[in-house]
């Protein structure tokens, strides 16, 4: 209920704005700020209700209602440690963005406030949705108000920027939509169940090829949103042309939608592909760190500079996510939040200056500290937070990401590969050099705008920040300090969820590895118990990962309870009849004996219900021709793929 209220209250408020007078700027602004602030306060309830000791979706906060029952689409939402703070970030930044609109919004005030409110609903919904259709609806819902924000209230090239933004994002979303539909059909094929629920889909282990394709579709969609180099060129245009609140929301929240999507959807659904592609994505992240920083350094336009700095920072997030370690993932989430605060602050702060001078060129400023000391001091703190000064918010995430990436699990797979790929330490070291560049471009910007003599007469008597502007800036500055000095309340609440997330990722990844190793083109669905067990057995998630090499996927042993029963008794309907059964029986003793011993040794090892096929049921080393024939036979006879024995072939 709380989630529903948080997500849809902004929409309600947007409807209420329609009753307000059209051009009463102050009233509309106040209404917008007041309503979103109330929503923020209300969203703090989440923090109170949140149980930081357990990972996964909080049961007390989840919603799961029927929506379009015939299609299996449900109204399913939930919050865990990963999304909690992104939700809070969104509700926190929206009032600040509306408050900071200042002089950048000069017309259609009612529509502006309404657009911001609708945007908030879209963002919140996307962060909490667990049904893929619901997610997609919110995902696309965000586009509309953002498009309007850039297109109506933007700068000179606003139409170009808005269209570029929308088309770019749409290209990615369409691919994602295709992948979603494919997964929907595939899940039905495997289980006979029509559902869009992410939690159900998470059990699905697809074949390597499917994973790579679907991951590609999802990742492309999210990579555009992040944006990952080289899909970033919409970002500077959108940022430069967007009005201040648009930039604030865009940099503060929308970009995180991409990294959140990778973490929430792309990685757990396609762990095999994620692991295989992780080094490449990590390298793209590292390229982004350095490239974004150098590009930022080369800009003359302050807003463009900040936009490119986002590319650099989000490179760290990608690196962290792709490190597949707890530290890396937590660090990545932390950077998302910290960057949400600092980039919002940088845009908001520059917006204050822009309102006074209406130019984005840094050369038009200089010596601003002399005329606007309070504003400059606050801006400097935000700038330093963005630089990643230890003790301020930017550092924690970067440090954790680097720590995690140094232990880069995914790179292990490339030990025999090219030098660059097989050296997480070397790669991470390059990423660490990003800290030099981040200081470089931000200090250069700061010097050009704030230090030196007052070069232009116009700047001589600019008024210092007003009360409203301070009201928008000061909360951000406070958070820059708080997040830097006491990160543990956040990290503590994230940790169980991240651990669970990684443990399940590892469990699924290993199951996928089994498929890949056996070279069987067969997907299957893991029992929920396996994912739960993965988390229980290995709360850190790391143990399973270390075992990856040379050992079988231990959790799959869970299925033996039933298969041991069925193997002996159930007659198997197979075209080649008894021969196959004999073959299966022939290799039974050794395997079953081993497993049985292990199963017995396991305390409380009650057999888990298991009704799906696993790669264990499939013989290894099938010869080419036999295998191909086998597949055809399965197809011709319309054998339901769920039958455990369907795919067994004789020798």
Q: Can you list the positions of beta strands (E) in 306-401? A: none
Among 255-263, 278-286, 370-378, 466-474, the segment contacting other proteins (CB under 8 A): 370-378
| DSSP 8-class letter at 548 | T
* Given 451, 468, 547, 575, the residue binding other proteins (CB under 8 A): 451
- Cβ pair 216, 255 in contact under 8 A: no
Q: How far is the CB of 337 from other proteins (least distance, A)?
A: 14
**CA-closest candidate to residue 612, choices 650, 649, 559:** 559
Binding to other proteins by residue 443, rule CB under 8 A? yes
Is the Cβ–Cβ distance between 14 and 118 less than 8 Å?
yes
Out of 40, 147, 369, 375, the only residue in the binding site for other proteins (CB under 8 A) is 369
Contact string (CB under 8 A) for other proteins, positions 51-80, x = contact: ------------------------------
- Choosing from 66, 486, 536, 579, the residue that interacts with other proteins (CB under 8 A) is 486
List the one residue from 371, 412, 413, 444 that touches other proteins (CB under 8 A): 444
How distant, in Å, are the alpha carbons of 205, 417, 498, 593, 644 from that of 560? 19, 37, 29, 11, 12
Query: Given the complex with other proteins, which of 68 and 167 has the nearer CB atom?
Result: 167
> According to DSSP H, which parts of 50-131 are helical?
81-99, 109-128
Name the one range near other proteins by CB under 8 A: 205-213, 347-355, 447-455, 641-649.
447-455
Tell which positions 579-638 bind other proteins, by CB under 8 A. Answer: 623-626, 628-629, 632
**Could you give the CA distance from residue 96 to residue 93 in angstroms, rounded to a whole number?**
5
Cβ 446 to other proteins shortest distance, Å: 8
131 three-state secondary structure: strand
Smallest separation, CB 644 to other proteins (Å): 25
Q: Is the Cβ–Cβ distance between 499 and 56 less than 8 Å?
A: no
Our CB check for other proteins shows the closer of 142 and 326 to be 326
Question: Judged by CB under 8 A, which of 367, 385, 557, 615 binds other proteins?
Answer: 367
What is d(CA 247, CA 105) in angstroms, rounded to the nearest whole number?
Answer: 12
* Angle, alpha carbons 525-54-493 (nearest 5°): 120
Closest by CA position to 260, among listed 129, 382, 76:
129
Select 43 or 497, whichever has its Cβ closest to other proteins: 497
In the complex, the smallest distance separating the C-beta of residue 180 from other proteins, rounded to whole angstroms, is: 24
Give yes or no for residue 428 binding other proteins (CB under 8 A). Answer: yes
Q: If you ran DSSP here, which 8-state letter would residue 363 be given?
A: G
Separation of CA 153 from chain center: 29
Contact 618, 648 (CB under 8 A): yes
Q: How far apart are the C-alpha atoms of 595 and 80, rounded to whole Å?
A: 35
Shortest Å, Cβ 466 to other proteins: 17
CA distance 76 to 234: 32
In the complex with other proteins, which residue's Cβ is closer, 212 or 430?
Answer: 430
Confirm or reject binding of residue 338 to other proteins (CB under 8 A): no
Dihedral of the alpha carbons of 275, 277, 280, 281, in degrees to the nearest 10: -80
Q: Total residues contacting other proteins (rule CB under 8 A)?
A: 70
Query: Which span (99-107, 486-494, 583-591, 642-650) binds other proteins, by CB under 8 A?
Result: 486-494
Applying CB under 8 A, does 453 fall inside the site for other proteins? yes
Residues 6 or more apart whose Cβ sits within 8 Å of residue 361:
300, 301, 302
Q: Give backbone dihedrals phi and psi of 131, rounded to 5 degrees, phi first.
A: -100, 130
| Joined tokens for residue 265 | 């959807």
CB atoms within 10 A of CB 642: 15
As measured in angstroms, the least distance from the Cβ of 159 to other proteins is 14
Contact with other proteins (CB under 8 A) among 20, 54, 144, 294? 294
The residue from 84, 226, 403, 523 that contacts other proteins (CB under 8 A) is 403
Give least dist CB 211 to other proteins, A. Answer: 26
Which residues have C-beta within 8 Å of that of residue 203, sequence separation ≥ 6?
525, 526, 527, 528, 530, 531
Sign of CA dihedral 198, 202, 205, 207: positive
Closest CA to 172 of 227, 117, 114: 227
- Could you give the CA distance from residue 313 to residue 387 in angstroms, rounded to a whole number? 10
DSSP 386-413: HHT-BTBHHHHHHHHHHHHHHT-SGGGG
CA distance 319 to 316: 5
Contact by Cβ (8 Å): 373, 123: no
Tokens matching residue 614:
């696993």
Q: Which pair of structure tokens corresponds to residue 361?
A: 């060129």
Among 129, 317, 336, 435, binds other proteins (CB under 8 A): 435
> Among the candidate windows 40-48, 100-108, 483-491, 601-609, which touches other proteins by CB under 8 A?
483-491
Is residue 450 involved in binding other proteins (CB under 8 A)?
yes
Q: Which of 60, 233, 566, 637 touches other proteins by CB under 8 A?
A: 233
Nearer to other proteins by C-beta: 275 or 330?
330
Region near other proteins per CB under 8 A, out of 34-42, 262-270, 362-370, 543-551: 362-370
In angstroms, what is the minimal distance from the CB of 330 to other proteins?
Answer: 5
Q: Which stretch binds other proteins (CB under 8 A): 85-93, 138-146, 425-433, 470-478?
A: 425-433
Q: Please provide the size of the chain in residues.
A: 651
Quick one: which of 1, 26, 419, 606 contacts other proteins (CB under 8 A)?
Answer: 419
CB of 606 to other proteins, least distance (A): 31
Q: Is 480 in the site for other proteins (CB under 8 A)?
A: no
CB of 146 to other proteins, least distance (A): 19
**Binding window for other proteins (CB under 8 A); candidates: 7-15, 213-221, 346-354, 391-399:** 391-399
Of 106 and 466, the one with the shorter C-beta distance to other proteins is: 466
Assess 468 for contact with other proteins (CB under 8 A).
no
Of 107, 492, 551, 552, which lies in the binding site for other proteins, with binding defined by CB under 8 A?
492
Half-sphere exposure of 379 (CA within 13 A, CB side): 27
Chain residues 528-547 in contact with other proteins, contact rule CB under 8 A: 540, 542
Q: Tell me which residues touch other proteins (CB under 8 A).
A: 164, 167-168, 230, 232-234, 291, 294-295, 297-299, 325-327, 330-331, 367, 369-370, 373, 377, 384, 389-391, 396, 399-400, 402-403, 406-407, 415, 419, 422, 425, 428-429, 432-433, 435-436, 439-440, 443-444, 447, 450-453, 485-488, 491-492, 495, 499, 540, 542, 623-626, 628-629, 632
């Amino acid at each position: 209920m709380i989630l529903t209220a948080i997500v849809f209250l902004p929409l309600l408020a947007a409807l209420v704005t329609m009753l307000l007078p059209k051009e009463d700027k102050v009233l509309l602004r106040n209404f917008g700020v007041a309503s979103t602030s109330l929503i923020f306060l209300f969203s703090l309830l989440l923090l109170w209700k949140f149980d930081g000791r357990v990972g996964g979706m909080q049961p007390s906060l989840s919603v799961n209602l029927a929506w379009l029952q015939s299609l299996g689409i449900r109204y399913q939402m939930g919050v865990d440690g990963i999304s909690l703070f992104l939700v809070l970030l969104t509700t926190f930044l929206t009032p600040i963005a509306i408050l900071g609109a200042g002089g950048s919004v000069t017309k259609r005030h009612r529509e502006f406030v309404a657009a911001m409110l609708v945007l908030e609903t879209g963002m919140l919904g996307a962060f909490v949705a667990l049904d893929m259709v619901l997610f997609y609806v919110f995902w696309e819902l965000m586009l509309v108000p953002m498009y309007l924000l850039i297109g109506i209230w933007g700068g000179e090239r606003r139409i170009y920027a808005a269209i570029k933004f929308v088309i770019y994002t749409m290209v990615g979303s369409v691919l994602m939509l295709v992948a979603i539909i494919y997964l929907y059909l595939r899940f039905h094929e495997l289980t006979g169940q029509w559902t869009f629920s992410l939690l159900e889909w998470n059990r699905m282990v697809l074949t390597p090829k499917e994973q790579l394709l679907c991951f590609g579709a999802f990742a492309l969609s999210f990579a555009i949103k992040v944006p990952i180099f080289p899909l970033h060129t919409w970002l500077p245009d959108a940022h430069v042309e967007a009005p201040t609140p648009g930039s604030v929301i865009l940099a503060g929240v929308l970009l995180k939608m991409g990294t959140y999507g990778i973490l929430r959807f792309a990685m757990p659904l396609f762990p095999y592909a994620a692991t295989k592609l992780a080094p490449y994505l990590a390298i793209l992240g590292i390229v982004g760190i350095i490239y974004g920083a150098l590009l930022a350094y080369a800009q003359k336009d302050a807003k463009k500079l900040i936009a490119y700095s986002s590319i650099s920072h989000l490179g760290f997030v990608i690196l962290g996510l792709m490190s597949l370690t707890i530290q890396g993932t937590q660090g990545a989430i932390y950077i998302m939040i910290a960057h949400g605060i600092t980039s919002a602050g940088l845009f908001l702060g520059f917006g204050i200056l822009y309102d006074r001078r209406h130019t984005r060129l840094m050369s038009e400023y200089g010596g601003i500290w002399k005329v606007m000391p309070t504003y400059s001091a606050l801006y400097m703190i935000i700038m330093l937070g963005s630089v990643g000064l230890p003790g301020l918010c930017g550092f924690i995430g970067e440090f954790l990401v680097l720590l995690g990436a140094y232990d880069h699990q995914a790179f292990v797979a490339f030990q025999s590969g090219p030098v660059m790929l097989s050296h997480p330490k070397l790669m991470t070291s390059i990423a660490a050099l990003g800290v030099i560049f981040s200081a470089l471009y931000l200090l250069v910007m700061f010097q050009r705008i704030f230090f030196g003599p007052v070069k232009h007469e116009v700047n001589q008597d600019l008024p210092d920040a007003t009360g409203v502007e301070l009201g928008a800036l000061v909360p951000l500055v406070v958070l820059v300090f708080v997040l830097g000095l006491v990160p543990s309340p956040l990290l503590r609440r994230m940790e169980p969820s991240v651990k669970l997330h990684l443990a399940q990722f590892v469990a699924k990844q290993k199951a996928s590895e089994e498929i890949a190793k056996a070279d069987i083109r067969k997907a299957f669905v893991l029992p929920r118990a396996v994912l739960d067990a993965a988390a229980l057995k290995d709360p850190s998630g790391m143990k399973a990962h270390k075992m990856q090499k040379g050992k079988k996927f231990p959790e799959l042993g869970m299925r033996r309870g039933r298969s041991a029963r069925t193997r002996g008794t159930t007659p198997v309907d197979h075209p080649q009849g008894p021969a196959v059964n004999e073959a299966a029986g022939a290799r039974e003793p050794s395997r079953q004996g081993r497993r049985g011993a292990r199963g017995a040794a396991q305390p409380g090892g009650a057999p888990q219900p298991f009704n799906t096929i696993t790669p264990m049921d499939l013989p290894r080393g099938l010869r080419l021709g036999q295998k191909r024939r086998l597949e055809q036979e399965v197809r011709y006879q319309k054998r339901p793929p769920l039958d455990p024995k369907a795919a067994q072939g004789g020798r």
